[in-house]
């Protein structure tokens, strides 16, 4: 559960651990951070911030094992390709075609009478 404030509105977002791509070590030599990386950068979660490289390296392996996620190298990481959604209504007719009537497969019967009645 992530709690965020967007434009002053409090939000609670449920995110599964399987939605995260991995655990990454970010930063430079002065300060580094261990981050749980999500495909959406605003949902990435910092796990540990520190300057000791050995401690962060050990924690990196531990967090990766706890969450069963890979250790990501931020320098070699490429953005994940966008997933195609399994859309339930994809097989339906497009919206603009819904306004059109479908063609009739059979001809309509025409009622014909043989008598002509004339009244005076």
Backbone torsions φ then ψ of 66, nearest 5 degrees: -60, -45
**pLDDT value, residue 113:** 73
Using CA atoms, how far residue 29 sits from 25, 32, 44, 59, in Å, is: 11, 7, 21, 17
> pLDDT in tens for each of the 120 residues of the chain?
888 887 888 988 888 888 888 898 887 767 788 888 888 888 888 888 886 778 888 888 898 888 888 888 765 556 566 666 666 566 666 666 666 666 666 676 777 777 777 776
How would you classify residue 104: left for phi > 0, otherwise alpha for psi between -120 and 50, otherwise beta?
beta
How would you classify residue 12: left for phi > 0, otherwise alpha for psi between -120 and 50, otherwise beta?
beta
Scored b (16 or more CB within 10 A) or e, 14-29 reads eeeeeebbbbbbeeee
Q: Are 67 and 20 in contact (CB under 8 A)?
A: yes
**pLDDT value, residue 91:** 63
CA atoms within 13 A on the CB side of 48: 19
**pLDDT value, residue 104:** 60
Please tell me the pTM assigned to this model: 0.55
């Amino acid at each position: 559960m992530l709690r965020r404030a967007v434009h002053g509105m409090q939000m609670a977002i449920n995110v599964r651990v399987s939605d995260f791509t991995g655990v990454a070590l970010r930063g430079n030599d002065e300060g580094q951070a261990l981050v749980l990386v999500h495909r959406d950068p605003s949902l990435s979660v910092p796990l540990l911030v520190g300057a000791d490289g050995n401690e962060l390296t050990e924690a990196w392996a531990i967090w990766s094992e706890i969450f069963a996620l890979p250790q990501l190298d931020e320098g070699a990481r490429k953005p994940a390709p966008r997933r195609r959604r399994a859309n339930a209504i994809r097989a339906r007719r497009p919206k603009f075609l819904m306004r059109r009537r479908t063609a009739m497969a059979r001809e309509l019967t025409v009622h014909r009478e043989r008598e002509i009645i004339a009244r005076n």
